[in-house]
Structure 1
């Protein structure tokens, strides 16, 4: 990520309603692995930073007294609240703030998670804030996962035809892609680790409707980026995906790096 790129509220504009259908849900093995690895027993609090529509917040909520999902997109939080209500999941609180606002008076947490979100933040600033928000036995989890996979090369080709060769992100673009090197950021903020655990990858089958929703759930192809051409893009995408009715893709394993405020 270049210094020229700046976050703006349009990053996921219009994507919230596509997210739950377009992204593959985290497997049940993931919260079970968190519980086993950290000895979670229903006590303490969870903070999911950049929670989106609660994709990880909701599966983990039952492991804590309270789960707090924080996101800068109001539509994502509204979707999270709807999904929590539909699933009968209590113990959740949704906070409309940027990660850079932390600690924001939210208190201390047993676990803070970043699931496909850390790269969007001022990482040194946010990591330092989170370090001070953990309880003595607490951990920060960086989840390396993909809940979307391009099922056909026509998708990337068509996005480039409509939006240009550079990866779009809000009102700007990311010619060099997303940043890496998060381990150095965590260590510079005072964290010890990481201790890693993994959950195996799996095959999933996606319908055309789910594939289309997945495309619009991405920041790089969010609905607002297409403007008045959005309907035309979707029609052309569906045409190029035909005649297939479903697509099977293998998602890679999920790796979770646990970082601690003291030796792990």
Structure 2
């Protein structure tokens, strides 16, 4: 997970406000998969503003949220405090820092490492062996993808959005951020090679978006240097509205995929 991905400044507020959280059924599945209890520590790698870390913290003894962007961690800390969560710690770092974190926590002390829609920034073949010693028996790693990008879905409005964004950015937007079958297979193989017993679970739900939420979600996925300047954002939203016309409300059929690697 590289330093300086550009998810800072104004992007952080868009990320926190418009990125989908995880349904309770996902948190339930993660807790059940690794038999997490109030005695467990969970590490959430690539935690962003805490969409996964904060709800898990309410089920375990402590969560360590790790992210390379200080602004993300600042917002995660304040968001957790707003929800009364006091057992989360927020740490600047990347997947390369897992061995050092393991030295701090000790071998066999972690109940789970969760990675929510962030593994495409990392090196799974190096990461999974590095985190294996941290995990207690019965614990494991969860690779969680919360649906596909808005512009890669099988609806007319999604195809229109992709076409407009590709013209605006002048680049192809076919990359699925680790949600595609080939990436999922690669992650599964890397987990298996490391020695994890791997299974897959899914949670499906529908998400309704208005234009504001759709544009905010787009902003949440852009590096800060690609955001339109504040004085042009109303125009940007109007151009997307025109491109997606006559639709002004949009429904996603979201499939959360959880690759669950357990340590026997």
Question: For residues 15-73 of structure 1, what are the alpha-carbon distances to aligned partners after superposition, in whole Å with 9 as ceiling and x for unaligned?
Answer: 21111222222111111222233322221100000111111101111111001110001
Q: Unaligned stretches of 5+ in structure 2?
A: 152-156
Within 5 Å, give how 1:204-223 maps onto structure 2.
204-218=207-221, 221-223=222-224
RMSD: 2.6
2:117/2:144 contact within 8 Å kept: yes
Counting only pairs closer than 5 Å after superposition, residues 11-160 of structure 1 correspond to structure 2 as 11-13=6-8, 14-105=10-101, 106-107=104-105, 108-146=109-147, 149-150=150-151, 151-160=157-166
Q: 1:193 aligns with which of 179, 193, 197?
A: 197
Aligned residues: 246
Counterpart of 2:154 in structure 1 is none
Q: Is the 8 A contact 2:2 2:68 kept in 1?
A: no
> Taking structure 1 as the reference length, what is the TM-score of the superposition?
0.82
Q: Is the 8 A contact 2:67 2:92 kept in 1?
A: yes
Aligned pair partner of 1:10 in 5, 13, 20: 5
TM-score (norm 2): 0.82
Distance 1:176 1:64 in 2: 32
Shift of 1:120: 0.6
Task: Considering fraction of residues, name the structure with more helix.
Answer: 2
Structure 1: state its 5+ residue gaps: 1-5, 168-173
Could you tell me how far 1:255 is from its partner in structure 2?
2.6
- How much does 1:235 deviate? 4.0
Q: Is the 8 A contact 2:12 2:220 kept in 1?
A: yes
TM-aligned CA deviation for residue 241 of structure 1: 4.2
State the 1:237 CA deviation. 2.0
